[in-house]
Amino acid sequence: MKKFKIYISILLCFSMFITGCSFQRDLNAAYNTDEQLSIGISDKMSTIKTNSMGNKFAVIPFDSYVYSDSNADYMASLLINISNNSVLQCSNPHKKIYPASMTKIMTAMIVADEIQAGRLSLDENITLSHTIIFDDPDAVGSGLIAGDTITVNELLHGLLIRSFNDCCIILAERIAGSESAFCDLMNAKAKALGATNTHFSNSHGLHLEDHYTTVYDLYIMFHEFTNYELLTNIDNVSTYMMKYTHADGTPVEIECAATNGFLGEYELPDGLALGGWKTGTTTEAGNCLILEVNDEEDNQYIAIIAKAVDKNTLYEDMTDILGTINE
């Protein structure tokens, strides 16, 4: 009888060992960036530290903060203290949205990567081989035409500050040969960062059904964007004179006023300083804004609103969300 009990005990221990190994494999698989994110933290949970996603980003449970108010001012939002990965405000973080010109966050990072790799330079001149024409009423173009010559630096300012869509395509074709090939680079970088619920089908953000993301994925991508000093320095400019040479040799200047209302008619809550940002607006995407702010204690935050009903509501609600930082 005693030998039988010992035998059973050995079997139980072996079973627990095998089960424990299986559980650990399942836990690691949950953080596989090849799959859709489904676990993480909320504002009521401590930050989960893992060997991949969780040691860099706040991770939000896939089924949390889900709301379906048809009368809401916006579709989705997020406010995260990226200094300690705490979630301060959240609404529909994993809901599919259309990013509009917030797409240009990724476009600009790919350009910056090419510059850093030495395959592109800010002062390189690009002469347009063709005029880029859009049939989308939401499109905003710079007016550049075939034969015009402009530098990479001016194109970057144009796409980030004034959100010119043609500047994106010009850079995409220079870097990858075609906009389609450039989108492959965008999607690969998004996946590598962990933005696995995102798909880019163009470089500028004009509406396509298969061009989508989530505010959580935008947070991941924009978190990376804030590490590019070249790009955040451009974002600090409220007005820029974009210069190029017309096809006939005439020098041309275009005034680029920032599309971010917090650099113009709207004010941030007291004690906050603006860092990087990007706006986005199309009929399908609504009014969108993503931005980085810092408080007086040098804590860094990322705030996002997607698909607000109108511009004024966007900035009023963003002001309210940012106001919770000081509460």
Give pLDDT tens digits for 219-276: 999 999 999 999 999 999 999 999 999 999 999 999 999 999 999 999 999 999 999 9
According to the model, what pLDDT value does residue 62 have? 87
Average pLDDT over residues 76-97: 96
For residue 131, what are its two tokens?
Answer: 């005029």
Delineate the domains of the chain, giving CATH numbers in brackets.
100-326 (3.40.710.10)
According to the model, what pLDDT value does residue 55 have? 66
**pLDDT tens digits, one per residue of 13-55:** 334 333 443 323 332 332 233 333 332 223 332 222 333 455 6
According to the model, what pLDDT value does residue 223 have? 98
According to the model, what pLDDT value does residue 87 have? 96
CB 158 within 8 A of CB 242: yes
Neighbours of 201 (CB within 10 A): 18
According to the model, what pLDDT value does residue 56 have? 86
Average pLDDT over residues 57-76: 87
For residue 309, what are its two tokens?
Answer: 């009903």
3-state secondary structure of 304: strand
> Which has the closest alpha carbon to 136: 218, 204, 214, 212?
204
Average pLDDT over residues 161-178: 98
CB 177 within 8 A of CB 265: no
Mean pLDDT (the chain) is 86
Predicted model pTM: 0.83
Q: Give the side-chain half-sphere CA count within 13 A for 8.
A: 5
Residue 164 has pLDDT above 90, yes or no: yes
Residue 12 has pLDDT above 70, yes or no: no
If pLDDT is split at 50, 70 and 90, which confidence band does 70 have? Answer: low
> Which has the closest alpha carbon to 48: 81, 86, 94, 78?
86
> Which has the closest alpha carbon to 86: 37, 55, 31, 44?
44
Residue 285 has pLDDT above 70, yes or no: yes
Strands 149-151 and 86-91: unpaired
3-state secondary structure of 233: helix
Q: What percent of the chain has pLDDT over 70?
A: 83
Average pLDDT over residues 160-175: 98
> Which has the closest alpha carbon to 186: 110, 111, 101, 116?
110
Tell me the residue type at 284: E
Paired strand residues for 281: 287
Helices 104-116 and 215-225, axial angle in degrees (round to 10): 30
Rounded CA-CA distance 288/48 in Å is: 29
Average pLDDT over residues 111-140: 97
